[in-house]
Amino acid sequence: MTRQHALDHAKAYFDSGDFYDQLAPRIAIRSESQESNRQEELHRYLTEQIIPDIEQLGFSWDIVDNPAEGFGPFLLAERLEPEASFSVLTYGHGDVIRGYDDQWAEGLSPWKITQQGDRWYGRGTADNKGQHTINLAALGCVLKASNGRLGYNVKLVLEMGEETGSPGLKEICHRYRDRLAADVFIGSDGPRLNADAPTLFLGSRGSFNFDLKLQAREGAHHSGNWGGVLKNPAVRLANALATLVDANGVIQIQGLRPDPIPEAVRKALAALEVGVGDNAPTIDTDWGEPGLSPAERLFGWNTLEVLAMKAGNPDAPANAIPPTAYAHCQLRYVVGSDQDNFLVHLRHHLDQHGYHDIEVSAARMSQMAATRLDPEDPWVGWALASMQRSTHKTPTLLPNLGGSLPNDVFAETLGLPTLWVPHSYPSCSQHAPDEHLLGSIASEALILMAGLFWDLSDQGSDIMREKALCKTN
């Protein structure tokens, strides 16, 4: 059997409707990790949908409780071959964001796949049930074409809490470091740069969420009786925010800005165009760090966002000075940022500007650190060549995703070179009503991943030797 046989099996799996039939019951499970009453559904996704599938592929497995109390479990699995020369680790998450059932378009439900043209609607079709279903199916196609032998080991981590910030993932990977030891990581999450071109990204921007709060006093006071003699927390907070980031989105605190963009990263970003495709918003060309291209601002630089603000009662304003004001903010940051000291820099800056009364605190249980594999790593060239061979398209290389993923766990805790091959696209309505997967991308992704897993058998050992030689030299 040949590489082409593996790709033909992948194409047939999609064209026959088998992919649709396998994905539909997975979408039907309400695995909303942000809802505290979904623990049974989180377990059921693993036991009913994933474990029977991977057992047929030859995996052994364990379900491991989350060390972070109250959050979803982990599935750890491995398919080992006696003569394997190396190991690959793969990943997915079976939990989804809240369904927001009543906000979907007429005729659509988050818990049922509805196909309309090229769009397959349903919660998790894009993030991430559809993506890890593609990868496991592609692996099965390769096993079918290779008479059940890969020549390498495959290990799997599937978590059920990514949408709550992956609590416990780092501890699990540290605790089971030996079991999860591998030589390369290949996973799928997030979007392509655009729908038409396969994409490879090598890490992700980090995500640091923080809260600003000013508690001026207990209770509101009539603005006519007290306006002019009581400080307004909302005014104070708005002015404080304006010292963090200016009116054009430029970060004003040096400690929150990254090092200059490395030349290899600039080179990779030079030809990229962002903001194209259906439903893409129009880019504000005068927003963000001056002197950078849109691709550099999105993938190579830091951005500070105010995600939510509140003072008083926005739904029913009263003629009263509010007692408190609150803002929830986020710093998306790249490798080369002083990520261990963000809170220190914020506190120092606020104090310097006289805002001693504003509290600043980290806002999430787990923060995702910035990571980026060197674009010149041998695994990168190998993956790009394989993707092009399978799809006859030039793939897009992103040094890192603009969003955030728990890639630091794989890159730093487990010390792996990380390759991400996403099967979604920017306008998929991820995390929103009407989330959908494009059937055309799913079909291409099955072929692409089958090619990657096949080429690992043929070329993985060569890449391992090349990396060892580079390290020696």
Q: For the residues of 302-321, what is the DSSP string, one character each?
A: -EEEEEEEEES-TTS--SEE
How do residues 268-317 score in pLDDT, each as one tens digit? 999 898 877 767 788 999 999 999 999 999 999 999 999 999 999 999 99
Average pLDDT, the chain: 95
Structure tokens at 201: 């990204």
Tens digits of per-residue pLDDT, 55-66? 999 999 999 999
Backbone torsions φ then ψ of 23, nearest 5 degrees: -75, -35
Which of 292, 205, 283 is closest to 250 using CA atoms?
Answer: 292
Residue 443, pLDDT above cutoff 80? yes
* pLDDT (mean) for 192-197: 93
Residue 16 CB partners (closer than 8 Å, separation 6+): none
Q: Which two tokens stand for residue 412?
A: 């730093």
Query: Which pLDDT value is given to residue 473?
Result: 65
| Cα–Cα distance, 160 to 167 (Å, whole number) | 10
| Phi, psi at 68, each rounded to 5° | -85, 110
Q: Which residues pair with 162 in a beta bridge?
A: none
Q: How far is it, in rounded angstroms, from Cα 446 to Cα 390?
A: 10
Could you tell me if 163 and 34 are in contact, meaning their C-beta atoms sit under 8 angstroms apart? yes
For β-strands 60-64 and 74-79, DSSP reports them as antiparallel
Tens of pLDDT, residues 86-112 = 999 999 999 999 999 999 999 999 999
CA gap 175, 177 in Å, rounded: 6
pLDDT band of residue 353 (cuts 50, 70, 90) is: very high
CB atoms within 10 A of CB 354: 12
Task: Give residue-wise pLDDT tens across range 110-157.
Answer: 999 999 999 999 999 999 999 999 999 999 999 999 999 999 999 999
What pLDDT shows up at residue 431? 92
Confidence check: pLDDT of 367 > 80? no
pLDDT of residue 1: 77
Share of the chain above pLDDT 70, in %: 99
The owner of tokens 């995390």 is 431
pLDDT (0 to 100) of residue 365: 53
In angstroms, the CA 57 to CA 144 distance is 10
pLDDT value of residue 467: 82
Tell me the Cα Rg of the chain.
Answer: 24
CA distances to 77, 174, 372, 419 from 410, rounded to whole Å, are: 16, 10, 11, 10
CB-based contact 211:329 (threshold 8 Å): yes
pLDDT given for residue 90 in this prediction: 98
Determine the Cα–Cα distance for residues 194 and 300; give it in Å rounded to an integer: 18
As a whole number, mean pLDDT of residues 32-43 equals: 96
Residue 470 backbone dihedrals phi, psi, to 5 degrees:
-65, -40
Cα separation of 259 and 268, whole Å? 17
Q: Is the CA virtual torsion 341, 412, 33, 101 positive or negative?
A: positive
Tokens of 402: 């603009």
**Torsional sign, CA 49, 52, 54, 57:** negative
Distance between CA atoms of 239 and 233, rounded to whole angstroms? Answer: 10
- pLDDT given for residue 366 in this prediction: 58
d(CA 437, CA 99): 16
Question: Mind listing the domains of the chain with CATH numbers?
Answer: 3-204+370-472 (3.40.630.10), 207-258+302-362 (3.30.70.360)
pLDDT of 386 > 70? The answer is yes
Strand partners, 320: 222
Strand partners, 284: none
Tell me the β-bridge partners of 368.
Answer: 207
The stretch 186-208 carries a mean pLDDT of 95
429: left (phi over 0), alpha (psi -120 to 50) or beta: left
3-state secondary structure of 209: strand
Supply the pTM of this predicted model. Answer: 0.91
**Strands of the 199-201 sheet, one edge to the other:** 60-64, 74-79, 153-159, 87-93, 184-187, 418-420, 199-201, 396-398
